[in-house]
Amino acid sequence: MKRILQWVWVALVGLVVGLGQARATGPLKVFATTPDLADLVRQVGGDQVKVESLARGFQDPHFVEAKPSLIVKLMDADVFVQTGLDLEVGWAPLLIQSARNPRIQTGGAGFIDVSQFVAPLDVPTNPTRAEGDIHPGGNPHFLTDPENARMVARGIAEKLSSLRPADASTFKANAAAFEKKLDDKMKTWTASLAPYAGATFISYHKNLPYFAKRFGLVSVGEIEPKPGIPPSGGHTAELEAAMKAKKTRLILTQPYFEKRTPDSIARDTGATVVVFAMAPEAVPEATDYLSTMDSNVNGIVKVLSVP
């Protein structure tokens, strides 16, 4: 009897350990919170991963419905990848906790928070709710800077290698290939935007400080008076006055925000509204990370190049 109990105990321990490990063969099942992250995983993982994004590119990543269907998907996941810095705090924790999959729980071997690979901007010194929906760890929209995408791709390669050491050389090579394509694109994007360094813009939400810093654009303000707070008449009037003083011609917004206010500001100031895609799928021509940035750079240059 004692020997039987020992065998049962060994089997149970083995089962628990197994549940916490990625599957040994076949593509790793990876779920990313957003399409831009999903594409970076796809670029690095290649044939060794099967990747799906939980949010769509035209959805606001702050507000995604935690559907039961998403929980079911995560129950069989090997890897969960999130942006972090509380971008998905309203829905991702609920999904991974409800899935009860030890592989992807916070701190698990298959849990990846890619914010650990970048230096965040806009880190508040005294965060309070009076400042709106701010993020205590910093602004989470860091993938609008392609150099941060480079760091995230490297980090993903390291994490995937730790789960599949036998495929580490493949992940490293794939990451290097992505970086080569990124290098070529960076030369094009930098050259395209260089003539407009110092040009001003407004955005609907405070989600472009990384992009602006990388390419030398200057924000005059946001349509939201504070993050997550709807625009008011008084704030809009102040913003329009600032735009006219700075001769601002560019309004950047996303498909999930209402159009009435940006369009109204455009009519009052003579500026042009451009949809800045935060992720693939946000606009038709954005099919992956690189084409998304292509779309954004081309849209901005089209406006700023008009005399």
231-243 per-position pLDDT tens digit: 999 999 999 999 9
Region label for 251, one of left (φ > 0), alpha (ψ between -120 and 50) or beta (otherwise)? beta
- SS3 state at 82: strand
Mean pLDDT of all residues in 277-306: 97
d(CA 302, CA 288): 21
Q: With beta carbons less than 8 A apart as the criterion, state whether 32 and 54 touch.
A: yes
Residue 32 has phi, psi (to 5 degrees) of: -105, 155
187-202 pLDDT per residue, tens: 999 999 999 999 999 9
pLDDT reported for residue 127 = 73
Mean pLDDT of all residues in 224-253: 96
Two structure tokens written together for 16: 């628990």
- Contact residues for 42 (Cβ-Cβ < 8 A; gap 6+): 49, 51, 288
Task: Tell whether the torsion through CA atoms of 217, 140, 119 and 83 is positive or negative.
Answer: negative
123-144 pLDDT per residue, tens: 988 877 767 777 889 999 999 9
101-131 pLDDT per residue, tens: 999 999 999 999 999 999 999 998 887 776 7
* Cα within 13 Å of Cα(224), Cβ side: 19
Region label for 16, one of left (φ > 0), alpha (ψ between -120 and 50) or beta (otherwise)? alpha
